[in-house]
Chain A
Amino acid sequence: MNIEHIQQQVLNANQLQIIGNNSQLRTASTTTLDMSVYSGVIGYHPEELVMTVKAGTRITEIESILAHKGQVLPFSVQDNPNASIGGAYSVGSPELRDAVLGVRIIDGQGQILNFGGQVMKNVAGYDVSRLLVGSEGKYAVICEISFRVLPQAYAKTYQAAKAANSSPKSELKVRIEKGLKDVLDPKGIFV
């Protein structure tokens, strides 16, 4: 499985539901894009505190690789051994968003796009890689994610994934999110 295969599935689809390793949502009538097969570490540089992985990589696998170098994720994710980094990204949490450095995505028109990078400081272009944390698979296929890691000694207790913030969104915010959906997925493929 490579990124061009995913791209082809997006190009062929009318509607696509992206699922990670752990999806409990599945609509029978919709074609699914199974990201669990797109997994593995692309780059890990402990001395840079940076890791890049494919979105289907399990959190447990990432944590065990980090542990060998005395490092940890600077965010917490739901306590499920199957959870993938892509799933955690799409659900989102403030700390996970803080840790993200860059993404490679496929938009609704099948374009492979890179935003952010593998460096701590990067203010070129809008911060799309942090914008899409919490996008629930509805804006683009998140294929690869670069994020910051921490030495064990600096780990804190983090808010569990998904803050229970149920206050209704303002009408303006709904309009902006709809506008951004149209930018990345104008045909409404991702459901």
Chain B
Amino acid sequence: MSITQVLSKALPKHLVIHGDEMTRPFECDGLSMYRQKPLAVVLPENIDQIKQVIQLCKEHLTPIVTRGAGTGLAGGALPLENSVVLGLSKLNKVKSIDPIAQTAVVEPGVRNIAISEAVSQYGLYYAPDPSSQIACTIGGNVAENSGGVHCLKYGLTVHNIVSIKILTIDGEELILSRDDDGLGLLALMNGSEGLLGIITEITVKLLAKPKVSRLIMAGFEQVRDCANAISNIIEAGIIPAGLEMMDKFAIKAAEDFAKAGYPRDVQALLLCELDGDDNIVEQELDAVKKLLSDASTIKVAHSEQERLSLWQGRKSAFPAVGRLSPDYYCMDGTIPRRYLADVLEKINHLSQHYKLRVANVFHAGDGNLHPLILYDANIEGEIEKTEAFGTEILKLCVDVGGSITGEHGVGIEKLNAMCHQFTPAEIEVFHQIKAVFDSEELLNPGKAIPTLHRCAELGAMHVHNGELPHPELERF
């Protein structure tokens, strides 16, 4: 019997989806340039059914690709041809809320924003807010260690998780908590992209909603002045809740789309949000205004409506850019912020070299860049050109001491770039960590960590102290 037949027999019929048409909605995640239909999709309604799927897939040596809402941007939930997709979207209950301890216990398929909605009655919220928060699931957030616009002040997913329950590929339950003695296994699970275990329950940390939020917008004639202003704010001892920057192209696109009231004649725009208690926020607002002396325009939102309207431009930057081009490719590099102006300059040079337009939006506070490369998939060779441009941007990030991905994950998309960021020995450690949890390579195999063979073939390698990469491999 095939695995599809086995699963259909073992589980209630409506939980197992198969066939060309029926599995099509699951053929890709948010990175739609890669598509692959799985053998079957299973949508379990309880933990016992997950255990059954794990056991049967293990018996049949069938890989499992765990999926939340499928909003990931790196192809982490892309099915494999010989795999079963385990979709956890039906496990969508908030199990309990403890307003005193400020925690909530939730199932993995609960949507990010649904947590904040459920705890809002207690004046609490869940801080990490990836832009897909209305759709993405908390299980996916843990698997990707998702970020958002408020990370500088409130941390990533890893900083906001109290404990999780996971099922191993052997079907054993593992409970991992922040306060555990010994190794940081909970931290290891955050961002492990479904390669080490299947997350079945999450206890999240909740925060008290800030009493006030104030937004200040500043436009700059020079990108470098904007970058310096950001450093000055942080060096002055202020940590804004959000600190977002856009370049000229992104400003224009966002303004055309959202009519947010952005100045069209500036080279860089900064949005700085301060939140907390009234008096502290007012003090910080005054201090920030003084630190923005190089700005050509400054505007403080004086009403909640104005604040939301100014944010709307930034939040619609992606669709706004999407209007200007048939396709766009979103990058996710991070850099030490002091190189921001230099990196932006180099990205613009690359843009001219590749003859592809690029719009830059940054989570500037934490050095996370989202260059959007505009391209047209219908023009032959343009996807390849776009990917080459993207790879150069990521190399640039690594070369200044940053990372190829700040919050989107590696998935299938950044396997080649991993070869640039890590040495063969480091990549080998990653493979061995995977083997500790999943020696038969059944959990999302082939994602997140490139094979050494792939890196060697790529050639564009990490060269340490002038040594030839992969001296252990034969060359022809």
Contacts and interface: CB of A to CB of B under 8 A. Distances in A.
Interface stretch (A10-18, A21-29, A47-55, A56-64): A47-55
Interface in B361-377: 363, 366-368
Interface residues of B, number: 69
B159 A98 contact: yes
Given A111-B425, A128-B429, A153-B237, A123 B338 contact: no
A172 B433 CA distance: 15
Interface residues of A, number: 57
Interface stretch (A31-39, A75-83, A162-170): A162-170
B444 to A, nearest CB: 13
B178 interface: yes
B429 A183 contact: yes
A130 B187 contact: yes
Given A120-B366, A123-B191, A172-B172, A50 B336 contact: yes
B354 interface: no
Contact of A170 (B147, B174, B179, B237): B174
Contacts of A126: 188, 191-192, 430, 433
Nearest to B155: A98
Interface in A95-124: 97-98, 107, 111, 113-115, 117-124
B185 interface: yes
B86 to A, nearest CB: 21
B460 to A, nearest CB: 16
A120 B151 contact: yes
A5 interface: no
Nearest to B407: A121
Contact of B184 (A71, A92, A170): A92
Contacts of A136: 182
A122 B403 contact: yes
Contacts of B421: 124-125
A125 B179 contact: no
Given A113-B426, A173-B174, 15 more contacts: A114-B422, A118-B401, A121-B368, A123-B144, A123-B408, A124-B404, A124-B405, A124-B417, A124-B421, A126-B188, A127-B188, A133-B187, A139-B183, A151-B238, A177-B183
